[in-house]
Structure 1
Amino acid sequence: MTALKVGIADYEEMKARTMRIAKGEERPAPSDPKVWFTSTESFAKVLSAGNRELLRVIDEQSPGSLEELAQITGRAKSNLSRTLKTMAGYGLVRMEKGQGLKRVPKVAHDRVELVLPLIAGKAPRKAAGGAR
């Protein structure tokens, strides 16, 4: 599988970046994060231990539906549906068509790479001499 590159930026930083890109003042680099969270807290919530365990179960047991996943995990289908919708919004899972009207959860990536600036307002820079 692949890694999902994730960045952390507050709403104003993301808005300013989006505007620069829209105006042609900035071009996203291929190495830039594809998914953004507004805080480390929101990142940690989506990738909590319970949610990482859910991803592991989906990957290893390949449930054929949400109902089957609910039986395997002991979690309510409505809870799973909300969680998977959030994870799909961040690109962590995808919901594929199953038999009939059933939706089948699939893990989209096997790892996450986090880009986290430690000094506010500073864009990540390449180290001298090439790759970091």
Structure 2
Amino acid sequence: MWSDFTDYIIKHYSQSSSIVEVAVGHFPQVACDLKKHLKVDIIMTDIKPYHDEIILDDIRQPNLKIYKNAGLIYSIRPPEELHPYLEKLSVKTGADLIIKPLSTDSINIKGKMDLVNYKKAVFYKKSLNKGL
């Protein structure tokens, strides 16, 4: 399933300046796979970075410089209480937003998000980045 999720991002965001994963936690697999296949700046953020490649950032008070040129902001299994902050950040930066929730979680977003079924990957997407 992760290869399908990664494949979707590669196919749709290979022309982005950067792609940011928010709340990477201890699961950097997708970002690492994207780094192998794209010549795009892949940025990982978390409130408690455990690795040097993960940038410290609190999505509730984000450092907008990190997300400045992002074509896509995505988060894998973020807590539902962070969903509105992800949406606000997406709107502020003009980046598309993808949320891959746990299968038991709902989406806590006021704006419309489209359910995407891509091969075996299922996630929600909000498109803001015109031209990608």
TM-score range relative to shorter protein: under 0.3
- Which has the bigger relative contact order, CA under 8 A and spacing at least 6? 1
Task: Kindly name which structure, 1 or 2, has the bigger radius of gyration based on alpha carbons.
Answer: 1
User: How does the TM-score come out when normalised to structure 1?
Assistant: 0.26
The normalised TM-score by structure 2 is 0.26
Structure number with the higher helix fraction is 1
